Amino acid sequence: MKHDRISLIERAAEVYDFGAALRARTPATDPMAAPPAVAPAPASPPAAAEVPPPVMPVPPSTPRPAPAGAPAIATVDRQRLAAAGYLLPDSPSTGLAEEFRLIKRQLLAGIDRRVSQPEEKRRSILVTSAQSQDGKSFCALNLALSLAGERAYEVLLVDGDFSKPNLPSILGIEAGAGLVDALADPSADPERFVIRTDVAGLSLLPAGRKANDVPELLASERTREVLSRLVAGNPRRLILFDSPPALMASPATVLAGHVGQVLVVVRADRTTEADLRETVGLLVGCDHLSLILNGAAMAVSGRNFGAYYGHSDDAA
């Protein structure tokens, strides 16, 4: 089948005929539109009469300045990312990078449209899958790296796979306390568990300590409070959750009620229609659900960004 000028989300809908299930639970939406550009705030004039030295432009790879008293910035292991096939910050455009740009544009357009939602929900996105090994963490991290390149936004990537947290390891960052610790302690400031990285616009919130009551913590009002504080402290911040597979652990189902959009990663050669339908049924807490088709090779006559940029990639 030819796939001409359609996104991975649309391609997944062709492969899995679950439109009836989604139409029964999700109202029609307006066509996607890219978010308006946000102009940077004008720089403040120098306080003294002295002529300041010229300020050189800051390249995209330079991390944004940390506030006074903030913890040290963690260094992302770019060699480890490259060896595992992930996108690299400031690397040349590839077919994979272009696919995630298309997905990103649709997500950002959805955020712009849902102005009636609470901010902590509107700016939160969940990535999950039906089963393990479908590539959800691969898609979540690549999407986070793509979002980090936006000038108007910063992204906080949350490791929500509490039983098998692996995002710090992939990034080459030492994990410590995280989301579970912030939820368990009502007096804790969630911002102190956020790890800033040397990738401009990218921060990480680890899963945190092991606990048997994680689903109950996620279902509590404290979760809404933590998310609200995380977005209130930074008006540019988007929160992106990497959750466990929906059919293997309950946190994905609970987290769906806290986010404005859910992305379900569908493995082209593995995910069954029955599993996908069951997964959609479990994620009823969110009224906007989309798909990412993972592991599908590009059609010979279809869209092929990699060829245009001098690279050859499989689709996300």
Question: pLDDT tens-digit profile of 63-109?
Answer: 445 444 455 799 999 999 999 999 988 777 888 999 999 999 999 99
Q: Which two tokens stand for residue 306?
A: 């990699």
Across 14-19, average pLDDT: 51
| Domains contained in the chain, number | 1
Task: Select the more confidently predicted residue: 124 or 22.
Answer: 124
Across 50-72, average pLDDT: 46
| Close Cβ partners of 285 (under 8 Å, ≥ 6 residues apart) | 253, 254, 256, 257, 258
d(CA 213, CA 48): 56
Domain with 303 in it: what CATH number? Answer: 3.40.50.300
Across 207-220, average pLDDT: 95
Query: What was the pLDDT predicted at 89?
Result: 83
d(CA 22, CA 287): 9
Range of the domain at 147: 8-24+74-308
DSSP state of 74: B
Query: What was the pLDDT predicted at 110?
Result: 92
Provide the strand spans (E) within 27-137. Answer: 124-129
Tell me which of 61-75, 119-133, 235-249, 290-304 is least confident.
Answer: 61-75
d(CA 158, CA 255): 12
Please provide the distance, in angstroms rounded to a whole number, between the alpha carbons at the two ends of the chain. Answer: 18
Length of the chain: 316
Across 103-127, average pLDDT: 94
- Could you report the per-residue pLDDT of 157-207, keeping only the tens digit for each? 999 999 999 999 999 999 889 999 999 999 999 999 999 999 999 999 999
* Model confidence, pTM: 0.75
Count CB neighbours of 65 within 10 A.
9
Residue 144 included in any domain: yes
Residue 231 included in any domain: yes
Task: Select the more confidently predicted residue: 278 or 49.
Answer: 278
Task: Select the more confidently predicted residue: 105 or 38.
Answer: 105
5 confidence band (pLDDT: 50, 70, 90) = very low
Q: Residue 62: left (phi > 0), alpha (psi -120 to 50), or beta?
A: beta
Residue 291: is its pLDDT beyond 50?
yes
- Could you report the per-residue pLDDT of 294-312, keeping only the tens digit for each? 988 655 445 554 444 444 4
Residue 51 included in any domain: no
Residue 313 included in any domain: no
Residue 29 included in any domain: no
Query: What was the pLDDT predicted at 33?
Result: 38
Query: What was the pLDDT predicted at 11?
Result: 52
Residue 14 included in any domain: yes
Residue 99 included in any domain: yes
Query: What was the pLDDT predicted at 16?
Result: 53
